[in-house]
Amino acid sequence: MTVGNVQQRIQHIENKIQEACDRTGRDRSEVTIVAVTKQVSATRASEVLAADIHNLGENRSEGLLEKQEDITNGAIWHFIGNVQSRKVKDIIDRIDYLHSVDRLSIIKEIQKRATKTIDCFVQVNVSGEASKSGISPSELQQFIEEAAAYDKIRIVGLMTMAPFTEDQEIIRQVFRSLRELRDEMAAQQWKHAPCTKLSMGMSNDYIIAIEEGATHVRIGTALVGAESEVDT
Ligand SMILES: *Cc1c(COP(=O)(O)O)cnc(C)c1O
């Protein structure tokens, strides 16, 4: 894939995002694209940076460390995957945002290992699918309250994954529920948990997510393709 190709994909996504913002009366500046580079090389990730997208997402510690060997400045790093407790120490001081806080043991491990406060999203299992990680909506408030005891954690928002379905109305309902939960949590005005951001939407559903209030869309294949498509 050439730089031009990445730029074309970004242009297409930008147009879609602008249209979704226009339809719903949102300002484009409210939405951050996190380019998910987990399936591609550091070279391809560099092309994304060159095209002026600076937020990069990885879901495995190995992938993160590999990319950071090549990309030493200009990137804002998001860890979007399930994080194993024993891997926290490898990544925690290398990332700017963690999108997948879903249990107290991770918070305790971050508290032990981090040398600065980490901006975290709490992952919520809105759809209730057994296969999905995340805090259940009914336990969210208590979980966030418990996090107050750990000063290395700042809860900046909520994150979710849409269910595996073609039914756009079901997906929309999940995103809408997350936004409502976010509003409830933000209204508490916790010092450790401003909880104003919404990380939701991927390649197949980022437009719906933006219509429903996403502030961070995590876009992989639609933006960088998959490495198998490389046509150099
Ligand atoms: C891989 C991944 C994405 C991006 O998925 P695409 O469908 O390639 O856009 C977003 N969020 C998470 C948590 C992921 O693991």
pLDDT single digits (tens) 132-145 = 889 999 999 999 99
The answer to whether position 230 is within a domain reads no
Residues with CB under 6 A from ligand 1: 36, 38, 59, 80-81, 202-203, 218-222
The answer to whether position 47 is within a domain reads yes
For the chain, 232 residues long, the average pLDDT of each consecutive 10-residue run is 75 98 98 97 95 97 96 96 93 97 97 97 93 93 98 98 94 98 98 98 98 98 78 46
* Angle between helix 137-147 and helix 104-113 axes, rounded to 10 deg: 20
The answer to whether position 81 is within a domain reads yes
- pTM here is 0.95
Which of 12, 13, 33, 80 most suits a substitution to test ligand 1, by most atoms within 8 Å of the C-beta?
Answer: 80
The answer to whether position 229 is within a domain reads no
**In ligand 1, which atom is closest to the CA atom of 159?**
13
What does the pLDDT read at residue 1?
Answer: 47
* Three-state SS letters, 160-215: CCCCCCCCHHHHHHHHHHHHHHHHHHHCCCCCCCCCCEEECCCCCCHHHHHHCCCC
Q: 202 C-alpha vs ligand 1 centroid, how far in Å?
A: 6
What does the pLDDT read at residue 4?
Answer: 54
The answer to whether position 231 is within a domain reads no
Q: What are the pLDDT digits (tens) for 151-197?
A: 999 999 999 999 989 999 999 999 999 999 999 999 999 999 999 99
What does the pLDDT read at residue 228?
Answer: 60
The answer to whether position 172 is within a domain reads yes
118 — phi, psi (to 5°)? -105, 135
3-state secondary structure of 3: helix
- At 102, which CATH number? 3.20.20.10
The answer to whether position 55 is within a domain reads yes
What does the pLDDT read at residue 192?
Answer: 98
The number of folded domains in the chain is 1
Q: 61 C-alpha vs ligand 1 centroid, how far in Å?
A: 15
What does the pLDDT read at residue 226?
Answer: 76
**In terms of residue numbers, what domain contains 30?**
3-224
Beta strands in 73-189 (DSSP E): 76-79, 97-101, 118-123, 153-159
Which of 161, 208, 218 most suits a substitution to test ligand 1, by most atoms within 8 Å of the C-beta?
Answer: 218
The answer to whether position 54 is within a domain reads yes
